[in-house]
């Protein structure tokens, strides 16, 4: 079966409340949904959200990137298309990811497989996700944390900004109010090395799972200084897009863990390469996402299930932030648990 048609549409999903990090604020998930059709009429779906602050791609750039390369895939099998995509296309990582996911999705349909069969997943027991606490004033963040805990969330990803005094105060209060929650701190590059060390000193002795991307993405030497200093595990997010980035960070010991996202690495095929490298080298991973649509989250969740031995943290809470839960998801969320639908 060969690829005969490729087209995309723009989709929006309204959020319950605005999503705020040190890098951006948004009220909607905005994404491209990509359709790839085979000559026997089956359709695979891929998606890519607009996250210009992270990948440099907005909806227009993603659409134009896909338009610029799509003709080379017509007449190919999905496997050939995936190979060609990653060997020849110089387009952004989100656009690449949308194409990769769509080709994998169509491949699975053509072979009458499920993602469970495609990934060879053995263990289908529930996964556990964190939920994001947006960067806000102190009172709002404490209130949001308590509300999330009441809703059954036991892992909070707390977004912090450049105000270190605020950051330290927020974490102290959450630990005091909610002693049983696991706290993941995400600074989204907001800190200097000095800020990072001050924050680490400020939360000394508290139980915090890890600190994510304290310094600028390109400041690998700064990241290493923080990692060498910190008693809390440091996780590289925006610093690690590709397998090459992951190897650089692991070999130089610039972070303790890495955050893999489909939109950074160029899709499922590339994420699997990083996960296999992590498995071989004993690297702990987080599988994260941007604010994304249902189909890219679906395949990320399948990936999380298949590679649960190396993925210690799952940050796939986008659907929990939608104003209305979608029935296009293969999974259901019960508190922090994610269960495969029957």
How does 323-336 read in b/e, with b if 16+ C-beta sit within 10 Å? Answer: eeeeeebbbebebb
Residue with tokens 């263990």: 123
Residue 186 binds to Mg ion (criterion: CB under 5 A):
yes
Nearer to Mg ion, 102 or 184 (CB): 184
To the query of whether residue 315 is one of the catalytic residues in this protein, the response is no
To the query of whether residue 261 is one of the catalytic residues in this protein, the response is yes
- Residues from 39 through 58 that contact Mg ion (CB under 5 A): none
Among 144, 237, 292, 317, binds Mg ion (CB under 5 A): 237
Min separation Cβ 245 and Mg ion, Å: 14
- From 177-185, 207-215, 226-234, 248-256, give the range in contact with Mg ion by CB under 5 A: 207-215
Non-local (6+) Cβ contacts of 253 within 8 A are 224, 227, 228
CB 265 within 8 A of CB 288: no
3-class state of residue 147 by DSSP: helix
To the query of whether residue 212 is one of the catalytic residues in this protein, the response is yes
Min separation Cβ 89 and Mg ion, Å: 26
- From 118-126, 209-217, 239-247, 279-287, give the range in contact with Mg ion by CB under 5 A: 209-217
DSSP assignment, residue 322? Answer: B
- From 46-54, 230-238, 272-280, 317-325, give the range in contact with Mg ion by CB under 5 A: 230-238
Q: Residue 88: enclosing H or E segment and its boundaries?
A: helix 78-88
- Which alpha helices (DSSP H) does 219-286 contain, by range? 220-229, 243-251, 262-265, 268-281
Min separation Cβ 327 and Mg ion, Å: 28
Nearer to Mg ion, 157 or 224 (CB): 157
Non-local (6+) Cβ contacts of 113 within 8 A are none
Which one of 212, 238, 292, 315 is the catalytic residue? 212
Residue 74 burial (C-beta neighbours within 10 Å; 0-12, 13-18, 19+): middle
- From 42-50, 84-92, 229-237, 298-306, give the range in contact with Mg ion by CB under 5 A: 229-237
To the query of whether residue 83 is one of the catalytic residues in this protein, the response is no
Q: How far apart are CA 292 and CA 133, in angstroms?
A: 17
Nearest residue to Mg ion, by Cβ distance, number only:
237
To the query of whether residue 163 is one of the catalytic residues in this protein, the response is no
Min separation Cβ 54 and Mg ion, Å: 9
Q: How far apart are CA 256 and CA 259, in angstroms?
A: 10
Residue 30 binds to Mg ion (criterion: CB under 5 A):
no
Q: How far apart are CA 17 and CA 27, in angstroms?
A: 7
Using CB under 5 A as the criterion, which residues of the chain lie in contact with Mg ion when the complex forms? 186, 212, 237
Residues forming the active site: 159, 186, 212, 237, 261
């Amino acid at each position: 079966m060969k690829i005969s048609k490729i087209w995309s549409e723009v989709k929006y999903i309204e959020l319950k409340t605005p999503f705020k990090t040190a890098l951006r604020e948004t009220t909607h998930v905005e994404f491209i949904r990509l359709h790839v059709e085979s000559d026997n009429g089956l359709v695979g779906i891929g998606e890519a959200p607009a996250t210009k602050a992270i990948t440099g791609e907005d909806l227009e750039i993603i659409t134009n990137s896909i338009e610029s390369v799509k003709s080379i895939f017509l007449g190919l099998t999905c496997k050939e298309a995936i190979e060609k995509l990653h060997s020849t296309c110089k387009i952004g990582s989100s656009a690449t990811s949308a194409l990769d996911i769509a080709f994998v999705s169509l491949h699975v349909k053509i072979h009458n497989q499920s993602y469970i069969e495609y990934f060879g997943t053995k263990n289908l027991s529930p996964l556990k996700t964190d939920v994001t606490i947006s960067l806000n004033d102190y009172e709002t963040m404490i209130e949001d944390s308590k509300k999330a805990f009441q809703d059954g969330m036991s892992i909070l990803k707390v977004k912090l900004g450049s105000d270190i005094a605020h950051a330290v105060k927020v974490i102290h209060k959450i630990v005091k109010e909610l002693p049983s929650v696991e706290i993941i701190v995400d600074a989204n590059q907001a800190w200097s090395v000095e800020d990072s060390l001050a924050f680490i000193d400020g939360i000394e002795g508290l139980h915090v799972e890890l600190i994510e991307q304290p310094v600028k993405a390109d400041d690998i030497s700064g990241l290493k200084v923080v990692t060498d200093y910190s008693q809390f595990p440091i996780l590289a997010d925006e610093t690690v897009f590709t397998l090459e980035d992951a190897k650089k960070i692991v070999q130089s010991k610039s972070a303790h863990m890495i955050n893999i996202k489909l939109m950074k690495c160029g899709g499922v095929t590339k994420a699997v390469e990083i996960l296999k490298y992590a498995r071989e080298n004993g690297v702990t991973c987080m599988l994260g996402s941007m604010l994304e649509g249902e189909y890219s989250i679906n395949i990320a969740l399948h990936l999380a299930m298949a590679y649960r031995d190396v993925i210690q943290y799952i940050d796939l809470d986008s659907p929990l932030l939608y104003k209305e839960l979608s029935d296009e998801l293969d999974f259901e969320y019960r508190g922090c648990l994610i269960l495969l639908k029957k």
